[in-house]
A and B are shown apart, each in its own frame.
Chain A
Amino acid sequence: MPDLDLFRVLTLQDYNTRIVVGGVTVLGLASGVIGSFMLLRKRSLLGDAISHATLPGIACAFLVLGALGLDGKNLPGLLLGATLSGGLGVGAILLLVHWTRLKEDAALGIVLSVFFGLGVCLLRIIQKLETGSAAGLESFIYGKTASMIASDAQLILASSLVIAGTCGLLFKEFTLLCFDTQYAGAQGWPIVALDITLMVLVVGVTVVGLQAVGLILMVALLIIPAAAARFWTEHLPTMVVGAAVLGAVSSLVGALLSALLPDTPAGAVIVLVASGFFLVSLLAGPARGVVGRAWRQSELRRKIARQHLLRAVYELSEMANHPPSVRRNELLARRSWSPRQLAQTISAAERAGLVVPTEPNAIRLTEPGRRHAARVTRNHRLWELYLIEHADIAPSHVDRDADQIEHVLAPEMIQKLEALLLHQDRDRQPPASPHALEERP
């Protein structure tokens, strides 16, 4: 009965499902929080390097435990080994970055590959020794999400609480560290200690997560939720909470899906769910999403086209002996716009009530349109005057520069320009154009 299965899974009646779902959800939450800071520190791949760097520690711990006559796969022992070598890896990265001319990415890659190579050597030796059963030691790195047991989940819960709590307490300090390290240092914050604290938290979450969910999922949980949350907000606390929620929800949904569908590895499904959220955020995120940005850009383009149209109409009707209504082919000749662009811009301006058609192929400014056009023309000419008087640019060359800036001049800027350029005439009319208008192509 599949329906019954669905019900059983969703209500978490299975003890196993409950542990797995609970464990990965909490892990996703903690990784989201830490991942946000790592993303802003531009150290997203640190988790990748740390996860690989734990391998020699795990192998060493196994060898040492074996030599001491203990069970080689004693969990606290292996965790200690992993933490120590993960910490060594982070130390090596920091030393390489600070003491040599190598950049962060090279340091990450060096530590990742050399430590992992060392781990591979040690594992090979362990396999050849055949003293204890080494099988399963690799799963410590590759993960065993579906077979997570209660003690794993408890460990994750405890460490996640510690990590989230530390981040909460040091929130202000970490924020400063992420956005302006130099300023933080100048203010007397112990930035090296803070940096190391952050790294310790990353090592902690990685080591705990690694043995529960595996290398790739750990890397993904540290990066993807934070990167996805970045699209939704420019506000750090919101982003951290968002990343935590995204991490937790991806893990929850992924773990449930993997429990429902046969033969789907939980780790992979969680990564895919998180990637799905990332893709949606990349497209639709209001702060930095692709769609939002494209919309804002086209909005700006439309505004610029409208202002160009208004100024063109204004300048034509300003000429001596010109009637207030302007023909379309006159407008076409003034700028390098296509007939289609011009038609679209005109109909948009008509809808906004800025121009009205007079004849089939001619338009005239309405009163609001005239005021708007006068303001744009005024901005344009003020900037032209400024360039001629203060930047020593030839009158024949100022039009194009002013054409770009007229749309973005702020009111304060206009006031400054007026004070600088117009000594007597302070009315709201545009000053006369500093160059002959007919000269234009």
Chain B
Amino acid sequence: MIWTLLDTQIVIIGALCAMSAALLGNFLVLRRMSMMGDAISHAVLPGLALAFLLTGSRASSVMLIGAGVVGVLTAALTQAVHRSGGVDQGASMGVVFTTLFAIGLVILERAARNVDLDPGCVLYGALEPSPLNTVTLLGWDVPRAMLTNGIVLLLNVGFVTLFYKELKISTFDPQLATTLGFDATWLHYLLMTMVAITTVVAFESVGSVLVIAMLIVPAATAVLLTDRLLGMLLISVAVAALSALLGHLGALHVPGWFGYPGVDTSTAGMMTVVAGGLLAVAVVAGPRHGLIRRALRQLDLTLRIAEEDLLGLLYRFEEAGRTATRPQMVAVLQQAGGLRPWIAHLALRRLARAALVDDASLTPAGRRRARDLVGAHRLWETYLDQHLELPSDHLHAPAERLEHITTPGMRRQLEDEVQQPTHDPHGRPIPRDETSE
């Protein structure tokens, strides 16, 4: 398949639309209003129908105004039902957009049946033919969709730049915004107006699937990748642009992979699928919150606790004058803590590499570390016995958990609290810090 100017233009139009939606989408996702795009894109139907009936014109400008007005109305009505009726935000959105859509359908069926107004045709633009509809700008033939979506992108960039500070504060802490004397309501409606305009313009030129997806998916991907608002905005816009490129390539080539050679599919649809794929990658492989990263962190913590338990075990064996083989230790740990054998083996290997354990006995460094741990454990048992009056057979379990998170400062405080005892409630000696001896 040969890449033509048409393909380039499709990608550019798709990218412009996706980026303008993604930019605003960040605030929708953060404000937990992700479904607004979906609601608005359904609810604009009566606006389109009324605009047509009132003016008798099918010109895009008229349609845009009608749809924009209803888009803002959707946001306002949703808010009104939510506030005055105490109805859950999602439910009030559902009530409002289904009602408006139904009104639109009835108007279209009853009043516009004599004229040629096919909702499918007026409402749902498509990405692929959009470069063919051109306007002349400064002597150049520019696709109209490129122009309109470009203008919307500029508007949105301007809006976010101008109100960056206000958007940030009212998104993350509306109460703070109010106490600072800044009314978040008008900004909310301004944001909703921008969302409505973006939705309607994109809707008319490239279709509804794309805009609903692009309002949410890139922003959600960005949420998974960063904790900073500015970074989030940039990432979401980059994801949107990438989806446009990969989406068009995918639309041309992916059907071939599944045994439909020579068939291409909807670019807008494929863009949303690509965006979904990018999101899935972020869910799994995200650097800080990704599933892999989280599993590794979990494993690291498990290993650290297993290492410390092993050290404690070796120390107690030494205390009792016994020696243990590696399989014995693994068996004891498995029995006591439900530790899986492979984790115990891995922990032993890590201890050996850190020169804390030599084969199955403690090195001097290991013994110092183990003495601290066992000391902390027995101090905690003493503390729990003295201050919480737990029965003596209930002391071990909490101490077992607390010993891993006891810092030297905490340990000193503990010693003061329990008045420097020499033995724990079970009568075993509490090993002292070497430094304090």
Contacts and interface: CB of A to CB of B under 8 A. Distances in A.
A40 to B, nearest CB: 9
Interface stretch (A101-109, A303-311, A363-371): A101-109
Given A114-B272, A114-B276, A105 B98 contact: no
B85 interface: yes
Say which size band chain B's interface belongs to. 35 or more
Contact of B32 (A48, A103, A120, A275): A103
Contacts of B105: 216, 265, 267-268
A68 to B, nearest CB: 15
B276 A117 contact: yes
A288 B32 CA distance: 25
A108 B29 CA distance: 11
State the majority secondary structure of interface residues on B.
helix
A420 interface: no
A219 B113 CA distance: 26
Nearest to B224: A100
A272 to B, nearest CB: 5
B206 interface: no
A52 to B, nearest CB: 8
B90 A96 contact: no
A230 interface: yes
Contact of B272 (A106, A108, A116): A116
Interface in B84-119: 84-88, 90-95, 98-99, 101-103, 105-106, 109-110, 113
State the majority secondary structure of interface residues on A.
helix
A39 to B, nearest CB: 6
A268 B102 contact: yes
B196 to A, nearest CB: 16
B88 A42 contact: yes
A113 B260 CA distance: 24
B269 interface: yes
B223 A102 contact: yes
Contacts of A43: 90
A129 B263 contact: yes
B283 to A, nearest CB: 5
Contact of B265 (A125, A224, A269): A125
Given A39-B88, A120-B268, A271-B102, A110 B263 contact: no
Contact of A114 (B103, B260, B266, B273): B273
A48 B270 contact: no
Given A48-B35, A105-B33, A265-B109, A113 B272 contact: yes
A379 B124 CA distance: 66
The winner among A124, A219, A269 for most chain B CB atoms within 10 A is A124
A100 B212 CA distance: 21
A110 B217 contact: yes
B429 interface: no
A224 B101 CA distance: 14
Contacts of A61: none
Contact of A121 (B34, B42, B224, B270): B270
Contact of B217 (A114, A128, A231, A288): A114
A227 interface: yes
B215 A109 contact: yes
Nearest to B94: A223
B194 interface: no
A124 B213 CA distance: 18
A109 B216 contact: yes
Nearest to B106: A268
A44 B94 CA distance: 7
B251 interface: yes
A105 B263 contact: no
Contacts of A113: 38, 209, 212-213, 216-217, 272, 276
Contacts of B34: 103, 105-106, 108-110
Given A45-B90, A110-B217, A120-B209, A105 B273 contact: no
Nearest to B254: A121
A279 B92 CA distance: 12
A1 to B, nearest CB: 22
Interface of A: 39, 42-45, 48, 96, 99-103, 105-106, 108-110, 112-114, 116-125, 128-129, 216-217, 219-220, 222-224, 226-227, 230-231, 263-265, 267-269, 271-272, 275, 278, 282, 288-290
22 contacts: A44-B88, A45-B35, A103-B32, A109-B216, A110-B216, A112-B38, A113-B38, A113-B276, A114-B213, A117-B271, A117-B273, A118-B272, A120-B266, A125-B255, A128-B263, A219-B98, A220-B98, A223-B91, A224-B95, A269-B102, A271-B98, A272-B99
Given A223-B98, A264-B106, 6 more contacts: A45-B93, A99-B291, A106-B29, A106-B223, A227-B92, A265-B106
4 nearest A-B pairs in the assembled complex, by CB-CB distance: A117-B272, A114-B276, A113-B213, A120-B269
